[in-house]
């Protein structure tokens, strides 16, 4: 099998409900889609979600990297030799992790379609569905409580609350949300690097009665020692997100025992193949794993889902980046029922056309 030609295009998708996190307000997202066409009429699809604040890419630079670096390297190559193609592109695409992730997706999609199997089964098939959290951005307390009630009414069982700008307001917000949704709904909190160590400790003590499931990335990513101090001083699991951009980051976090959990995002680490290696490091270190996402089309969410379903220590999912995206060309690539994500029965990533 050979790749005969590659197409790439950008799609801007407005959010039905804009949201705010500690370092930005988001009203829309632009994803870059890929299609790999082969001489056996098998087409593989991939999706990049470049985010300048996280991956240091934009849609413009991502498209340029695809056309100038990826296309010349991949045209005429065998897509079934997946690791060979990815390894050749790792160094030239080092500064473009979401582009590498999209290429990785398209190659995995071809592999699954050629085998006639959904990708999660080819990767290990540990489980066939996973519960996902849904995110509440930074809003006034009353609006946050209202939104929490709405998500629970839509049968989501887990809420992730964003904060990091005002620790006292965050504590009050979490307490009010717990009161509103009851004790059976799981609550997670993401400070998006907004806290000091002291503020992190204050937050955990102030929300002790809420029984938070985890605290995600409370301190700045460039100061791993602060993250380690929080982990050692608080009573709930601490998760690294922005601090984990690569396999080496995972090794350093694990070796120094700086966190209890890690959030693996395909767009940060460069795709499924690399995510599997990061996950292996986490498992060796006894760290639980969450698969996370950016503001991503359902196609990219499907890739994260297939990865999550394949491995036993990927026990948490935060795969809600497609919810509220308008004009998503890959809608239907995943199935959501009562807050639980399921893959389609189609081979590969489950998307047959864009």
Active site amino acids? 162, 190, 216, 241, 265
Q: What is the DSSP code (8-state) at residue 345?
A: S
Rounded Cα gap, residues 102 and 286, in angstroms: 29
Q: At what angle do helices 272-284 and 247-255 cross, to 10 degrees?
A: 10
3-state secondary structure 287-305: CEEEECCCCCCHHHHHHHH
- Residue 185 exposed, middle or buried by CB count within 10 Å (0-12, 13-18, 19+): middle
Rounded Cα gap, residues 231 and 204, in angstroms: 11
Rounded Cα gap, residues 138 and 112, in angstroms: 39
What would the two tokens of residue 269 be? 């680490």
User: Phi/psi zone of residue 124: left (φ > 0), alpha (ψ -120 to 50 degrees), beta?
Assistant: left
Pick the closest to residue 254 from 276, 229, 228 (CA basis): 228
What would the two tokens of residue 268 be? 């940060």
Pick the closest to residue 297 from 84, 48, 112 (CA basis): 48
* Contact in structure between 275 and 268 (CB atoms under 8 Å): no
CA 352 and chain centroid, separation: 22
């Amino acid at each position: 099998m050979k790749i005969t030609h590659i197409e790439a295009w950008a799609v801007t998708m407005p959010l039905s409900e804009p949201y705010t996190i500690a370092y930005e307000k988001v009203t829309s997202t632009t994803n870059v889609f890929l299609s790999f066409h082969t001489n056996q009429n098998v087409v593989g699809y991939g999706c990049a979600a470049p985010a300048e604040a996280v991956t240091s890419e934009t849609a413009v630079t991502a498209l340029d990297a695809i056309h100038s670096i990826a296309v010349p390297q991949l045209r005429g190559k065998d897509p079934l030799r997946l690791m060979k193609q990815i390894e050749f592109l790792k160094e030239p695409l080092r500064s473009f992790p979401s582009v590498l992730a999209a290429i990785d997706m398209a190659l995995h999609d071809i592999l699954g379609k050629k085998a006639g199997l959904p990708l999660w089964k080819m990767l290990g098939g540990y489980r066939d569905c996973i519960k996902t959290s849904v995110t509440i951005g930074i809003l006034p307390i009353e609006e946050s409580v209202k939104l929490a009630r709405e998500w629970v009414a839509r049968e989501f069982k887990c809420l992730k609350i964003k904060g990091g700008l005002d620790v006292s307001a965050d504590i009050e917000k979490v307490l009010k949300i717990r009161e509103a949704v009851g004790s059976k709904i799981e609550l997670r909190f993401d400070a998006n690097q907004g806290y000091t160590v002291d503020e992190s400790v204050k937050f955990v003590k102030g929300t002790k009665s809420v029984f938070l499931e985890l605290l995600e990335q409370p301190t700045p990513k460039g100061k791993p020692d602060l993250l380690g101090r929080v982990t050692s001083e608080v009573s709930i699991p601490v998760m690294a997100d922005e601090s984990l951009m690569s396999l080496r980051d995972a090794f350093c976090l694990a070796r120094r025992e700086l966190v209890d959990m890690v959030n693996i995002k395909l767009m940060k680490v460069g795709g499924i193949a690399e995510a599997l290696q990061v996950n292996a490091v986490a498992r060796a270190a006894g760290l639980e794993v969450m698969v996370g996402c950016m503001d991503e089309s359902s196609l990219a969410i499907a890739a994260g889902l297939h990865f999550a379903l394949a491995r036993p220590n990927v026990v948490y999912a935060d795969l809600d980046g497609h919810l509220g995206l308008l004009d998503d060309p890959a809608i239907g690539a995943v199935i959501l029922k009562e807050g639980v994500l399921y893959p389609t029965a189609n081979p590969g990533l489950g998307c047959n056309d864009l």
